[in-house]
Structure 1
Amino acid sequence: MKTLVVLFTALLTLFCADLFSQVNFTSSNLPIIVINTNGQTIVDEPKIMADMGIIYNGEGERNNLVDEFNHYNGKIGIEIRGSSSQTFDKKSYAVETRIDEEEDLDVSLLGMPEEADWVLYAPYSDKSLIRNALIYKLSNEINRYTTRTKFVELVVNDEYMGIYVFMEKIKRDKNRVDIKKCESKDTSGTSLTGGYLFKIDKRDGANIEGWESSFVPFAGAWQRVFYQYDYPKETDIMPQQIEYLQDFIYNFESTMYLNKYSHPFDGYYDIIDINTFVDYVFLNEFPRNVDAYRLSTFLYKDRDDINPSLKMGPIWDFNLAFGNIDYYEAWEDDGFQIYYPIPDDFFQKPFWWEKMFDDPVFANKFAKRWSDVKSTIFSKERIFEIIDSLTVHIDEAKTRNFERWPVLGTYVWPNKFVGETYESEIQYLKNWIDTRWNWFDNNISTEYSSIDWKDPNEVEINMDISEEKIISTSDFYNSLINIDSLTLVVDSENVNVNRIENNYLISSNISGTYKLKLEGWYNNQRTELSSSYTINIGVTGVNDKLLPKEFSLEQNYPNPFNPSTTIKFSLPNVGDEYIRPLQTQLIVYDILGREIKTLLNKSMQPGEYEIVFDASDLPSGIYLYRLTSGNFIETRKMILLK
């Protein structure tokens, strides 16, 4: 039924296009973008060469269609973008500023930092015209980068096309997703660990490559979650980088799959940047985005020496949010979309979202985030102020837009509400936000816990072997709210921990560097968890200038071999003045990925090592050996030839 409605809407708008294409357009308070394709048709891949001019005389100044192209006047590549939105007569476009067909051009446009890749988004089914601009502004105001926006009016081949939103494309860049470059030479050591930008999305377009998750989205599901490479591009990413990224996500999902996914050390907390995940949920749940978690979902990871944690975002594509949707009950202003089951849909969210959202530590951070912003950036007054500002800004242009595209009072897939006027569309949006805000405030706990933990660099415990030291939990925080008790946990059975009221007696007969965390408890739930603090027992300070500077796993020698070969690897010091041992594994697998032999599995100090692998009892063939140390993972091949 949905397909028939979409086809009918597309045919109707196509039939009416000529009747409404002639709009009296000579000037605007918005920037004017003029595109000339020189007789070519814009298609959905590949981009065609065209000319683009931008008339922008500055904020508050009038822009006339006869003015010179004073903001940009040059070449572009342009193609139609989007998926379901391509059925609409008003198309969105991907634009690349270019010098010529072979070379793109980084340029600052409409107050946005220099880049070459841009989007001309066409609001159509969203008759408020502002849903994307609204949530993107709110996201940036809470310091979660997403695309910057600017309303413009567009003319293509002398035809007025209406209001568009000129936006940055989501991509790796120092002014967009700011992660380290990952080039073809970065195939080992720390440089292999980032940066990566990838996503969960529809598989539209050419050369969409990636991998399927090893875990079903729900028990008995026939669907699989598909992760797509975004940066490096599928045409540029190296085999070693593919292997590293897939292994990293497999490790994360494996951790989330286990019952101990919320273990203080073995759980997910040290794999992800939990605050980015909290904000991603918040920014998708408040407007109840029907595509959240399963489409237009970006993730990224920087290089380990910058930040080893997996991060969520930026958010993207909210035209089917804020009640502008008539399926999966996403128009409702109550409930969390994260829990809504859609078992028959091809596109599913990863299984780990619900487990994470149900974790009391995550839920507590979510409640605290709402409390922090509900009286400021996400107050009703502030949100309505943004809406009013945007609607005033496009007031003149919106009249021309709806002359060109007369959709007011007409159902456009997948509208839940059909307003006869623009004012009624805006009122519906405000009413929906008002009731959604109330539901959020009534259903998110106000009794959240909060601990201002001290920076791990400020607290370090140094002890001698067999020494007993009393540690107070108050040494690890500056202040706390709604906490009944604190417990201290360590990452090794080698450390003895005994509680004495609010203090802990710590001792060990085995030297090493260990980690401790503190757990905050409220109403019989663990609601707070600190970062790791360091305990050095029988470990002296070192000058690490002679230690390796980065992880490395060398090719075995000899190779091919019979029956033994030597494997060398290096572990750097990841701490400061103290040696930091890391849990390290070296495992051999067959070509099918079955584990053959564990050569090493223990905590190891920084240094250079070599291990002899004896394969006397194995048949000839190709084998893999994988080194895992901290967040470092690298795999190489070797050939046993008898």
Structure 2
Amino acid sequence: MNLKITLKHLFAFVLLLPAIAFAQVTFTDSNLPIVIINTDINPNTGQPTDIPDEPKVWADMKIIFHPDGTRNYITDQDNADFLDYDARIKIELRGSTSQSLPKKQYGWTTYDANGDKQNVSILGMPSENDWILNGLAFDATLMRDYLVYNLSRQMGQYASRTQYCEVVINGDYRGLYVLQEKLKDDSKRINIEDISEDDISGVNLTGGYITKADKTTGGDPVAWVMQSDAQNTDFIHTLPKPEDVTVEQDTYIHSQFTALETAANNSDSDFITGYPSVIDVPTFVDFMILNELSSNVDAYQISTYFHKDRGGKLRAGPVWDFNLSFGHDEFGDRSHTDIWQFDNGDNEGPRFWKQLFANTEFKCYLSKRWNSLTATGNVLNYDNLSDYIDETVDLISEAAAREQQRWGTVPNHAAEITALKAFIAERINWMTDHVGTFTACNDPDLPQLVINRINYHPGESDEFPESDDQEFIEIKNAGNETVNLTGVYLRELGISYQFPANATLEAGQGIFIASNPEVFEVRYGFAPYGKFERNLSNSTQRLVLADGFGNVIDDVEYDDDSPWPDADGNGSYLLLTDTSLDNSLASSWTAVEESSLSVSDYVMASQLILYPNPVNNVLTIQAAENIDAVAVYDVYGKQIKAMNTNGVNVEVDFSQYQSGIYIVTITTAHGVTSKKVIKR
């Protein structure tokens, strides 16, 4: 069977099926949440206000949702037990080309009873006030956006969270929608620092920004244009808003794209001068993978977002707008299984996409990531995708029938899904055959750097009243050789730091980076190595230390809940009990008093002698000052011995312990020091 011919004929068959005339639907209940919107009465007409393109108009919204997963009924709209939302909103039409369709798409904002914007959690999504009702324009599968956004999050990149629902506006059943998050800066969305008009110099000028390559039909002015081998690409400011951006901010963020363009054109992959110094490589790789897997005809040229945090690198994404993808193109014939969209001769976007792919190192990491994601059991493996599509079909099947009855746009949903799966199967095979090898980057030589201390919620006092100013992270070289730190950076959004070129860290040594170096020095008695931007979360946060290509050197996600040790605002910080342990495990950490951190602590630690190590029976500890206490922990962090002591020499009986690794903590007047001991 010729799969290409079959796909072509199948899409043609679907498009030629006669459309059913619009019809009203008797709608009483659904397995999906039900969104009911009633706009305010227009005093001039006595009728509900029409929803315009802009400005937003007032309305009441109710979202019916049975939290136990049972069916939702229109009659539940007056039962508070089944209302996920019941308050005021402002709503308007959204979209560009899609506004020509009878079924509209909407953007809306949540408000409180006083008429002020109100952050709320909708259907379990994090609290915010800006939301979207995606009408699935031009998409007879009813899932292209939903599918890709969820895949992006499964790959570890943020994308708009989604929830299928059915919508009724002013008593009129409007069909199946995806309720989703609007892309904006927020700690639970695009987690970057908000930039103000006063941020025009120094590190404040470096972020945060959201920029997009897009059409200008929304009326926003073009910030700059980048050349392409096909069409030129317009760039538009999203954060700051076009009307708020300063000359300095426009110049700065434009310069980042120019630097990327220059480095990509020169195929410069150096950590100091090349594209890795400008961009977060993993986000660019993942962005290309999802847009190429879907053969998204809008990719790179339209609806293409970028973001940059303060002090951080330029990042691609979040991914957006996939209604013209997976073989479907409403306005041409551009979505194929056997082309690269960044080199399609039409809307290719800026040249840097094509030039990045041509770069040996970038293409190697793209291939490595692609082959990993498509391996058996992983996110983009065909079997996994097919199962996920089937699950989604089961979820929306009854709503899809109503969608066809209301709008006549889904004449044969089963055929659409068959075509979607066939396209994905062929696309995966073609990309695997054409993405190249990843042998050269499969096993990168990474330094033995370890995140060793984390003070995420320091205690407050009269002398140091601001907790955020006392935050710090220690990074330790657990290897036997000096490490060149060029290119090493903190990869995850939330805090930003990149080591300066040619910085080094000697074997066994640790360096601190702090939120406020001046306060750190006063508080702890010595200067930190550097300053990170923004602040650590007081609850949970993932910290990823990576090399210039984004290869993970160390990865820790701490938490303020058990089983993590309690270092939550009580005057303690997290200390890794030994650098040989897996620091992703809570059991590898202990909580240590902040007062123990000082220059003397390091002097004392260097003068501690433990022998013999490995030990058979008795371990001797020798120090330059009085030892007040000794404790022994097993490899899981469980304390198995504690003893108060008095003297500079202490003996600890190890004879009763099983063979293995143990952590011994020694307390003196200058603090607590941990040492690894091996029992034979």
- TM-score bracket for this pair, using the shorter chain length: 0.5 to 0.7
Give the letter for the 1:312 counterpart.
A
Task: Tell me the distance in 2 between the aligned counterparts of 1:438 and 1:548.
Answer: 52
> What aligned pairs does 1:154-553 form with structure 2 within 5 A after superposition?
154-206=167-219, 208-213=220-225, 215-218=226-229, 224-257=232-265, 259=266, 261-263=268-270, 265-304=272-311, 308-325=312-329, 329-342=333-346, 349-374=349-374, 375=376, 376-409=378-411, 421-449=412-440, 450-455=442-447, 457=449, 534-535=503-504
Relative to the length of structure 1, the TM-score reads: 0.65
> Structure 1: 5+ residue runs without aligned partners?
1-8, 410-420, 460-475, 479-503, 507-512, 519-529, 551-571, 577-642
The C-alpha deviation readout for 1:561-607, integer Å capped at 9, x for no partner, is: xxxxxxxxxxx97489xxxxxxxxxxxxxxxxxxxxxxxxxxxxxxx
Task: Tell me the distance in 2 between the aligned counterparts of 1:356 and 1:391.
Answer: 37
> What aligned pairs does 1:15-30 form with structure 2 within 5 A after superposition?
16-17=21-22, 20=23, 22-30=24-32
The 8 Å contact of residues 35 and 51 in structure 1, kept in 2 or not, is answered as: yes
Aligned match of 1:99 = 112
The C-alpha deviation readout for 1:135-158, integer Å capped at 9, x for no partner, is: 111111011110111000000110
Task: Tell me the distance in 2 between the aligned counterparts of 1:548 and 1:249.
Answer: 31
Q: Offset at 1:339?
A: 1.1
Give the letter for the 1:251 counterpart.
A
SS in 2 for 1:134: helix
Q: Offset at 1:192?
A: 2.0
Q: Offset at 1:49?
A: 1.2
- Which residue of 139, 142, 149 corresponds with 1:126? 139
The 8 Å contact of residues 49 and 101 in structure 1, kept in 2 or not, is answered as: no
SS in 2 for 1:79: strand
The 8 Å contact of residues 363 and 435 in structure 2, kept in 1 or not, is answered as: no
Cα distance, 1:84–1:544 mapped onto 2, change above 3 Å:
closer
**Does 2:134 correspond to 1:143?**
no
The 8 Å contact of residues 515 and 534 in structure 1, kept in 2 or not, is answered as: yes
The 8 Å contact of residues 167 and 175 in structure 2, kept in 1 or not, is answered as: yes
Aligned match of 1:492 = none
The C-alpha deviation readout for 1:197-249, integer Å capped at 9, x for no partner, is: 1111111224x134113x5223xx7x542221111222333343233223333
User: RMSD between aligned alpha carbons?
Assistant: 3.5
Task: Tell me the distance in 2 between the aligned counterparts of 1:152 and 1:514.
Answer: 52
Give the letter for the 1:130 counterpart.
M
The 8 Å contact of residues 62 and 85 in structure 2, kept in 1 or not, is answered as: yes
Task: Tell me the distance in 2 between the aligned counterparts of 1:55 and 1:544.
Answer: 48
The 8 Å contact of residues 452 and 477 in structure 1, kept in 2 or not, is answered as: no
Task: Tell me the distance in 2 between the aligned counterparts of 1:264 and 1:243.
Answer: 23
Task: Tell me the distance in 1 between the aligned counterparts of 2:106 and 2:75.
Answer: 24
Cα distance, 1:388–1:65 mapped onto 2, change above 3 Å:
same
- How many residue pairs were aligned? 455
The 8 Å contact of residues 403 and 410 in structure 2, kept in 1 or not, is answered as: no
Task: Tell me the distance in 1 between the aligned counterparts of 2:162 and 2:270.
Answer: 41
The C-alpha deviation readout for 1:109-128, integer Å capped at 9, x for no partner, is: 01100001111001242111
Task: Tell me the distance in 2 between the aligned counterparts of 1:254 and 1:531.
Answer: 21
Aligned match of 1:638 = none
> Structure 2: 5+ residue runs without aligned partners?
1-14, 41-47, 452-476, 489-498, 520-527, 533-680
**Does 2:68 correspond to 1:56?**
no
Give the letter for the 1:287 counterpart.
S
SS in 2 for 1:132: helix
Task: Tell me the distance in 1 between the aligned counterparts of 2:223 and 2:331.
Answer: 29
Task: Tell me the distance in 1 between the aligned counterparts of 2:448 and 2:332.
Answer: 45
Task: Tell me the distance in 2 between the aligned counterparts of 1:134 and 1:59.
Answer: 24
Aligned match of 2:468 = none
Q: Offset at 1:326?
A: 5.7
Cα distance, 1:54–1:326 mapped onto 2, change above 3 Å:
closer
Task: Tell me the distance in 2 between the aligned counterparts of 1:401 and 1:517.
Answer: 51
The 8 Å contact of residues 264 and 359 in structure 2, kept in 1 or not, is answered as: no
Task: Tell me the distance in 2 between the aligned counterparts of 1:431 and 1:531.
Answer: 48
Cα distance, 1:161–1:516 mapped onto 2, change above 3 Å:
closer
Identical columns (%): 34
Give the letter for the 2:177 counterpart.
Y
The 8 Å contact of residues 260 and 352 in structure 2, kept in 1 or not, is answered as: no
Give the letter for the 1:309 counterpart.
K
Give the letter for the 2:214 counterpart.
D
Task: Tell me the distance in 2 between the aligned counterparts of 1:77 and 1:42.
Answer: 10
The 8 Å contact of residues 95 and 119 in structure 1, kept in 2 or not, is answered as: yes
Cα distance, 1:270–1:328 mapped onto 2, change above 3 Å:
farther
Q: Offset at 1:101?
A: 8.9
Relative to the length of structure 2, the TM-score reads: 0.61
Give the letter for the 1:356 counterpart.
L
Task: Tell me the distance in 2 between the aligned counterparts of 1:362 and 1:60.
Answer: 45
Aligned match of 1:35 = 37
